[in-house]
Amino acid sequence: MMDMEMNADMEREEGSETGGGSNEGSSTGSMYCTLEQNFEQIRNAMKNNRALESYEHEYKRLFESLYQSHRSEDELTKKCKTLQEEVAEGMNKIFDLEKKVEIGEMNIEQLKNEIIEKKKHTDIIHVREQKAQEIIENLRISIAKLTEEINQKSKQLSTEEQLPPTQEKDGLTKENERLLGEVDALKQCLKNAANYNQEIEEKVNETEEKIKSLQETIDQQNNDMLKVQREREKTQSELDNLYEKFIIRSTELQTVDEAYKEMQNNALKQEQLLSDQVMENEKSQKELHKVTQQVMSMKKSSDNLQIKITQIEKELNDKSRLIKDLNKEMHGKQKELERLNLEKENTESKLTKERNLNMKTEENLKRNVTILKNSESEVAGLTKCIESDKKTIEKLNRFKETASKNIKEQEEIIMKLNYEIRVFEQTNRRMQTTEDEMTAAANEMRRHIKKLETDKNKCVIETQELTVKVKDCVDELKLKRLEIADYQKRLHEADNRFRQHQTVFDNIRAERNSFKKNLLLVQEEVVELKAKAKNLNLEINVLKDQLAIKEADLMKQEFLFNKLEKEKDGLKVEITNIRINMSNFREEMEKMKQEEKFLKKTLQEADLTIIKQTKEIELIMNERDIIGTQIVRRNDEISLQYNKMQILTETLAGGEKQYTQRMDEIRTLKLELKNLKLRNAALEKHTSSLNDLRDAVSHLERNLNKERLKVMALEEEVQNPLNIHRWRSLEGTDPDTFELLKKIQILQKRIVKMSTEMINKDKKIREIEKLYTNLRKVLAKQPGPEILVHLNKTRRALRDRGNKMKSLVAELNMAISTEHKFEIDKIKKELNITKAKYFAQKKKNLKPLEYIKQIPATLTVNPNKFHYSGFDVNNPTSKDSTISSTVITQ
């Protein structure tokens, strides 16, 4: 008792220190103070009365049980408050993390869009570079052809005329210098383009690093979300104690198990597909390695061929020098040496053809190298795609592990709940055994059961809401399956790309085989040229021997010339005839000179046309530059539009944030209203129970007062007995009263037991009510199905907007590409027209040159004859031949 009094004093002091706290605390404290005072009074009275000493212990136990129930109520209220605060904090954390995740997803989508745009820009720039390289290579080929034609023309003019025109040479040298300057300018443009490509690649690498860092942050945020979700699930598992919800959860677990099995099957299929792709990629890498080795061997062989060609050119130069020395020694043998020169020119033309073939082979090698680089870049892209697929599979595995963990936790929770259900059923059985004895309490319990039935109906409504949530989860599973189907489509696309790469590699192999064949043909031609060079050396040696023989014959013919001077007089008549023929030949020579002047004029006109064409080409190049600037301006305009779109998206995000904040405020206000209503209902229930207790206390006090009066009366009668003399005192006791006292004691014991049982039942009922109220509060705080529907609608709207934006961007790119293609087609058509004009003019210029080549063929003498000082060595001399030779020498 002293402990109880001390505890009561401590509670009073705590109530005074806290300043009253609330009206409930003050009312309960005052009530318990009055009860303690009454308890002390009644206890003192019982101590004074010996008859009531037997009831003192039971009365004390009743008061102690009441005091413990009060303490347990206070403790449970504190625990409920702490749990409510923890739940509120967890919900706030979840909302904050969801907002962060949404912001991170928005940033990721923006960065992905920027990467796609930059990749498209790089692809466009690569296409431009390839086209520029093709144009430059075509220009180089045309310049080489023009230089070769100019050299041929200069050689022909030098052979035909004794005095070469210096003015034309100067003009040709100037044109060559100008063309070389254009080639240098084009090289500088190529260098600038290469630098620009390097800068773009650096930017792309920086963006990829940023994406990696953002992905790491997102993974961390996802881990935090998973931790918070686990804590939330634990709190919900501790609060979910109703039997009907257990059944719903069991059905949900069955559906989740089925979905989990399907996910496992899909994951196994994807792992098999990935393993197959990895094997195929390894095979493709091995083939690429082989192709690169073959290309290196081809490069080495081409280098060896170039070295051999340079050696052949050096040998040819040495031979040309020897031929020039022989020309100086053999002024009289010009006709035969012209044949040798013609053969030399043919060999040089063949060498030029071989050089052109080598140039073509080098160009093809360069193209193959570019194709290989592109294929390597595509292979790198495929490897990146495979890595991204691996990451997605890892994420799915993580999700699978988390799902399995959640399933295990839910199974443990179900076991606990089943155990609690069994305990609850046992208590119900005990209650059914005591129902027969407690009819009055049964009526009250029936009323309470009606209330529980109303609550049951509410729970049924809540179960329907949970079924709606389950349907939403099923929809999300369907969406995830659709995402898996998209990944499978991507894998099929990657397979198609890989097959395309295989076809490209097959084409490269075919081209390699063709190049090998061309190399074999070139090697055979080189061997033939070497054989021809050996034959030329043998012929030159034979000609030297013939010259020695002919010089001996000339000495003999000089002796004969002295004899033939006597016959000169007879041949003067023939000389006059020959002079007439010579005059005719001179007239023909003048006609030939006129034709030569006409041809020179045509050459000058051709030069003018070439100058005009070069000017037109410059104009085309300027137009190309203008088009490039226009494209740059359009790209700038597109970038400005993208910036505007980003600003609009940011404003939309800000509006959505404000909307979510307002919705959160509305939710908090609704939750506060529900809490106030629940508090009001709890206070009303508490007040009703207090009235019942007060009535019971007043009834007990009345009974006590009656019993006290009876005891006082009996004591007075014992002390002052009436009719002493009339009545006789008898020995013994009254058995009826003793039995009645025993019955009273038994009944009192029963009453005490019943009161204790009632107190325990009331405690259990209060605990159940508290759990029920806490569940109602938690469910009220949790978001309803309407919010999930709204979220799904917003997500769908955002997806539709994203798809529309992607379609608009694709349409813009298509429009830009179509405009670029039309402009390129125009430029190609104009180039083809200029090429056709150029080749037509070239043919016109070549016709008079062919006519000039045909004219000296008619004037050539038989090759078997060798004229020197008017005598024929091979054939016998005649008078006519000797006269003609003397005239020619004069």
Give SS3 for 868: strand
The answer to whether position 626 is within a domain reads no
Select from 239, 274, 291 the last residue of a domain: 239
Same domain assignment for residues 25 and 151: no
Give residue 28's pLDDT: 54
Instruction: Please calculate the CA angle 38-40-46 and round it to the nearest 5 degrees.
Output: 100
The burial class, CB within 10 Å (0-12 / 13-18 / 19+), for 39 is buried
Same domain assignment for residues 309 and 365: yes
CB 172 within 8 A of CB 606: no
Separation between Cα atoms, residue 587 and residue 582, nearest integer Å: 9
Give residue 672's pLDDT: 82
**Tally of domains within the chain:** 4
The DSSP line for 485-528 is: HHHHHHHHHHHHHHHHHHHHHHHHHHHHHHHHHHHHHHHHHHHH
| The token pair that represents 884 in the structure block | 């003609």
Same domain assignment for residues 23 and 39: yes
Same domain assignment for residues 200 and 284: no
The answer to whether position 612 is within a domain reads no
Give residue 344's pLDDT: 65
The answer to whether position 102 is within a domain reads yes
Q: Where are the alpha helices (DSSP H) in 240-333?
A: 243-329
Give residue 16's pLDDT: 41
Select from 725, 754, 777 the last residue of a domain: 777
The CATH number covering residue 204 comes to 1.10.287
Same domain assignment for residues 30 and 73: no
The answer to whether position 446 is within a domain reads no
Same domain assignment for residues 36 and 55: no
CB 869 within 8 A of CB 557: yes
The answer to whether position 797 is within a domain reads no
What 8-state DSSP symbol labels residue 637?
H
Select from 777, 795, 823 the last residue of a domain: 777
Same domain assignment for residues 295 and 379: yes
Query: For the segment 736-780, what is each residue's pLDDT rounded down to a tens digit?
Result: 677 777 777 888 888 888 878 888 888 888 888 888 788 777 777
The answer to whether position 852 is within a domain reads no
The answer to whether position 254 is within a domain reads yes
Give residue 861's pLDDT: 40
Give residue 18's pLDDT: 42
Sign of dihedral through CA atoms 365, 367, 371, 376?
Answer: positive
Same domain assignment for residues 143 and 287: no
Same domain assignment for residues 77 and 34: no
Same domain assignment for residues 180 and 32: no
Same domain assignment for residues 161 and 267: no
The answer to whether position 231 is within a domain reads yes
Count of alpha carbons within 13 angstroms of residue 809, beta-carbon side: 17
Give residue 785's pLDDT: 65
Give residue 255's pLDDT: 66
Residues of the chain where predicted confidence (pLDDT) is lower than 50: 1-26, 162-164, 725-726, 731, 856-890
Domain span at residue 502 reads 240-327+348-421+455-547
Same domain assignment for residues 29 and 65: no
Sign of dihedral through CA atoms 550, 553, 555, 559?
Answer: negative
Separation between Cα atoms, residue 281 and residue 275, nearest integer Å: 10
CB 257 within 8 A of CB 407: yes
